[in-house]
Amino acid sequence: MKHVFLDTNILIDYVQARAGGDDAKQLLVRGRDGDIELYASFLTFANMAYILDGKTDIYELFAMLTGFIKVLTMDGSQLQTALTRRVKDFEDMLQYQCAKVAGCDVIVTGNKRHYTEFSDLPLMTANEILKELEPL
């Protein structure tokens, strides 16, 4: 089974019905149905709480999402590893470290260019991974 790490922007696309939101929703359905295993970092939920401040009931939303998304912890060693690399997007480096340590197969993001500087994991958009997965 494919272990899929979700970048924060994928979940924000879904919640705020932004461009790519429909693909993000389909990807979440595939995870909920057990076709793939979905992962997100603890940091993602903190970022979402900040971004969605007052715009949605985060308690209800997070309870629903964590019913089928495995939440990964982050620790000091991941931070220290990230600090050894001077990259343009430090937050994405932290996300990458989390996905890498967890053994994820792919990072799904709406902004692959932020990761290309350092990621050796495959990078896909929600649309790209949906095309790769077998149809429902």
| pLDDT 10s digits, 94-121 | 999 999 999 999 999 999 999 998 999 9
State how far the Cα of 44 lies from the Cα of 116, in Å rounded to an integer: 19
pTM of the model: 0.93
pLDDT tens for the 136 residues of the chain, in order: 699 999 999 999 999 988 889 999 999 999 999 999 999 999 999 999 999 987 788 999 999 999 999 999 999 999 999 899 888 889 999 999 999 999 999 999 999 999 998 999 999 999 999 999 876 5
Is domain 3-132 given the CATH code 3.40.50.1010 in the classification?
A: yes
Closest CA relative to residue 7, chosen from 26, 24, 19: 24
The pairing of strands 37-41 and 3-6 is parallel
Joined together, the tokens standing for residue 5 give 């790490």
Closest CA relative to residue 3, chosen from 116, 129, 127: 129
State how far the Cα of 127 lies from the Cα of 129, in Å rounded to an integer: 6
Backbone Cα Rg of the chain: 14
Residue located via tokens 């899929």: 4
Q: What is the pLDDT of residues 65-74, one digit of tens each?
A: 999 999 999 9
